[in-house]
């Protein structure tokens, strides 16, 4: 990092908020994906003015700036592929306001999701999107990727809850979007543009979130199916049954056998396991909805149906789903976790297609995910030191994305494009759409300094 620029950054954020220490540069080279690249330095802004100053400087000097939260993203959106300045927002971690009457919370981007939940719990409120990384991921990161989670089927994703943002643009100007009012259609919906933009259009420095009263009662059940088609039909029937489960998860055959091989959970080796949860403000409400689900299970040739009688039993039923990721992560040296999403009617087809891809390339692919909104997580396990196997994984991924698109789905339901899926954007988006996206990027960031090289919007070669 040029001394002049280093000094300018220190003047903006203060000496203790700047680092070009090797150990920091190394850890900022990575996120939760397989990508890596060293930045020149990193800063820890504490205010929107700090962020503004840094961006203004970077924009003038044409240096890349890469905003970062907890760095747990799975697609490489926080990896500084053009070097530059990592903007670690974790020190902006105050919960500024919780207003129950207005049903909103105002937070800085570095607030960890779990800390917001902890602060809302005493009020009987919650922030519904429930990303699996919630114990560590930050709300800024959740906004950048439009994080989803287990409760997506009933409660939607992050974007459904963002009322307003304070954003710093790539040239350093600070603006607000949206409104504290529960609904507004005043001017273009800039809030929605920024949510899910993966830190490429602006840096979010304050988030106003809608919060919901937390249903206090729930009911949990589990069903196993010898035939995948039966499970798929059960999912469709549940979704048209007139009730909405708060969670509907699926585990595929390979996932179940992997869990069995590595734990003593002793799960049945079937084509699919479905885990359903309903919630309500009264136990009657939760139970009523669950009865509908049990009926659907029973009418679709299950091998077994289990209904939890209390919280402890519910916890037991959830164990398989919650241990899936960890168990699979330990089996081989590397893995790729995708999140292709298809319309619910096509879930069974997607599962079958994934199975076929595994066979075609002789790869171990275990799938689990949110059947409730069609968002599946195929986890491809492989030996990353076997270059031949790596090539097969790359080919398998391409087939996977082509399959999802063919089934009228999308490349990613919640993890984002980042670097990992950048090359596949044209599979999903037509040339006009790509052109429009590039134009939007250019309007916000004419010098391409804010998180450049991501989302396949570049015309530059990596």
Partner 1 sequence: MEAKYDFVKRYRDQILKCSKCGFCQAVCPVFGLTLRPALNARGKMLILKEVMDGQIALDDTLIETLFQCTTCANCLKNCPSDVNVPEIIRQVRKDMVGIGSCHPAFRGMQQVLQSHSNIYAEDEPEDFGRERNKKARSVYFIGCVGSHREAESTLATLRLLDRLKVDYTLIDEVCCSGVLEDVGFQTNERLARKNIELVLATGSETIITGCPYCFRTFTQNQQYAAFKENGIDVLHISQFLKRFDIEVKTDRRVTYHDPCDLGRHCGIYQEPRDTIQKIASNFVEMPRNRENALCCGAGGGVRGAFAKNSIAMARRRIQEAVDTGAEVLLTECNSCVHNLTNARLRKQHIGIYTTTAFINLLMDAG
Residues engaged in binding partner 1 (CB under 8 A): 21-24, 26-33, 44, 70-72, 88, 90-91, 93, 110, 112, 114, 133, 135-136, 325-326, 329-330, 333, 335
Looking at the Cβ atoms of 339 and 448, the one nearer to partner 1 is 339
Looking at the Cβ atoms of 41 and 347, the one nearer to partner 1 is 41
- Rounded Cα–Cα distance for residues 177 and 446 (Å): 21
Looking at the Cβ atoms of 35 and 441, the one nearer to partner 1 is 35
Residue with token string 């700047």: 18
What DSSP line would sit under 228-253, residue for residue? Answer: HHHHHHHHHHHHTTT---SEEEEEEH
Number of continuous H segments (helices) and E segments (strands) in the chain: 15, 18
Distances (CA, A) of 320 to 7, 222, 275, 338, 428: 52, 10, 9, 19, 33
User: Minimum distance from CB of 156 to partner 1 (Å)?
Assistant: 25
User: Minimum distance from CB of 93 to partner 1 (Å)?
Assistant: 8
- Rounded Cα–Cα distance for residues 67 and 202 (Å): 9
Looking at the Cβ atoms of 25 and 275, the one nearer to partner 1 is 25
Tally of residues, the chain: 462
Q: What pairing do the DSSP bridges indicate for beta strands 364-370 and 247-252?
A: antiparallel
The tally of CA atoms less than 13 A away on the side-chain side of residue 179 is: 9
What DSSP line would sit under 323-373, residue for residue? Answer: HHHHHHHHHSSEEEE---B--GGGHHHHHHHHHHHHHHTT-EEEEEEEGGG
Looking at the Cβ atoms of 327 and 348, the one nearer to partner 1 is 327
User: Minimum distance from CB of 73 to partner 1 (Å)?
Assistant: 9
- Rounded Cα–Cα distance for residues 151 and 245 (Å): 9
Exposed / middle / buried, residue 122 (Cβ in 10 Å: 0-12, 13-18, 19+): exposed
Judge contact between 205 and 164, C-beta under 8 A. Answer: no
Judge contact between 57 and 5, C-beta under 8 A. Answer: yes
User: Minimum distance from CB of 19 to partner 1 (Å)?
Assistant: 8
Looking at the Cβ atoms of 79 and 348, the one nearer to partner 1 is 79
User: Minimum distance from CB of 380 to partner 1 (Å)?
Assistant: 13
User: Minimum distance from CB of 71 to partner 1 (Å)?
Assistant: 6
- Rounded Cα–Cα distance for residues 366 and 325 (Å): 10
User: Minimum distance from CB of 109 to partner 1 (Å)?
Assistant: 13
Looking at the Cβ atoms of 137 and 177, the one nearer to partner 1 is 137
User: Minimum distance from CB of 385 to partner 1 (Å)?
Assistant: 9
User: Minimum distance from CB of 11 to partner 1 (Å)?
Assistant: 22
Q: In what order do the strands lie in the sheet with 65-68?
A: 18-19, 41-43, 85-88, 65-68
- Rounded Cα–Cα distance for residues 452 and 67 (Å): 11
**CA-closest candidate to residue 279, choices 311, 306, 304:** 311
User: Minimum distance from CB of 135 to partner 1 (Å)?
Assistant: 4
Looking at the Cβ atoms of 84 and 280, the one nearer to partner 1 is 84
Looking at the Cβ atoms of 20 and 229, the one nearer to partner 1 is 20
User: Minimum distance from CB of 382 to partner 1 (Å)?
Assistant: 13
Looking at the Cβ atoms of 76 and 172, the one nearer to partner 1 is 76
Looking at the Cβ atoms of 97 and 118, the one nearer to partner 1 is 118
DSSP bridge pairs for 95: 107
């Amino acid at each position: 990092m040029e001394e002049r620029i280093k000094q300018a950054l220190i003047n903006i954020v203060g000496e203790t908020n700047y680092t070009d220490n090797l150990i920091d540069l190394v850890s900022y080279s990575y996120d939760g994906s397989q990508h890596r690249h060293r930045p020149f330095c990193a800063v820890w802004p504490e205010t929107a003015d700090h962020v503004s100053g840094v961006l203004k400087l970077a924009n003038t000097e044409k240096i890349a700036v890469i905003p970062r939260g907890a760095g747990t993203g799975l697609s490489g959106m926080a990896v500084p592929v053009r070097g530059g300045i990592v903007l670690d927002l974790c020190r902006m971690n105050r919960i500024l306001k919780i207003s129950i009457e207005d049903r909103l919370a105002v937070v800085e981007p570095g607030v960890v999701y779990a800390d917001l939940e902890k602060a809302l719990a005493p009020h009987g409120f919650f922030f519904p999107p429930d990303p699996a990384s919630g114990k560590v991921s930050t709300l800024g990161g959740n906004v950048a990727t439009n994080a989803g989670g287990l409760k997506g089927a009933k409660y939607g994703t992050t974007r459904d809850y963002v009322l307003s943002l304070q954003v710093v643009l790539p040239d350093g100007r600070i603006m607000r979007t949206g409104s504290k009012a529960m609904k507004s259609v005043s001017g273009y919906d800039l809030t929605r543009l920024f949510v899910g933009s993966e830190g490429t259009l602006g840096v979010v420095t304050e988030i106003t979130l809608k919060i919901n009263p937390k249903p206090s009662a729930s009911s949990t059940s589990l069903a196993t199916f010898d035939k995948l088609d039966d499970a798929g039909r059960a999912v469709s029937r549940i979704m048209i049954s007139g009730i909405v489960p708060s969670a509907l998860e699926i585990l595929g055959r390979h996932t179940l056998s992997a869990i069995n091989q590595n734990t003593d959970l002793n799960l049945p080796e079937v084509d699919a396991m479905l885990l359903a949860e309903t919630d309500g403000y009264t136990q009657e409400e939760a139970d009523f909805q669950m009865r509908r689900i049990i009926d659907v299970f029973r009418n679709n040739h299950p091998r077994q149906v289990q209904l939890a009688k209390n919280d402890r039993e519910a916890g037991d039923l959830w164990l398989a789903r919650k241990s899936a990721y960890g168990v699979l992560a330990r089996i081989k040296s590397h893995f790729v976790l995708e999140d292709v999403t298809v319309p619910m009617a096509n879930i069974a087809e997607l599962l079958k297609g994934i199975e076929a891809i595994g066979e075609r390339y002789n790869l171990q692919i275990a799938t689990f995910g949110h059947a409730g909104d069609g968002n599946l997580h195929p986890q491809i396990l492989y030996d990353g030191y076997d270059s031949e196997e790596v090539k097969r994984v790359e080919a398998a991924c391409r087939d996977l994305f082509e399959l999802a698109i063919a089934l009228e789905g999308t490349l990613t339901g919640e993890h984002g494009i980042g670097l990992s899926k950048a090359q596949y954007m044209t599979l999903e988006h037509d040339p006009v759409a790509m052109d429009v996206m590039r134009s939007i990027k250019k309007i916000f960031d004419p010098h391409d300094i804010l998180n450049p090289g991501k989302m396949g919007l570049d015309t530059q070669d990596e």
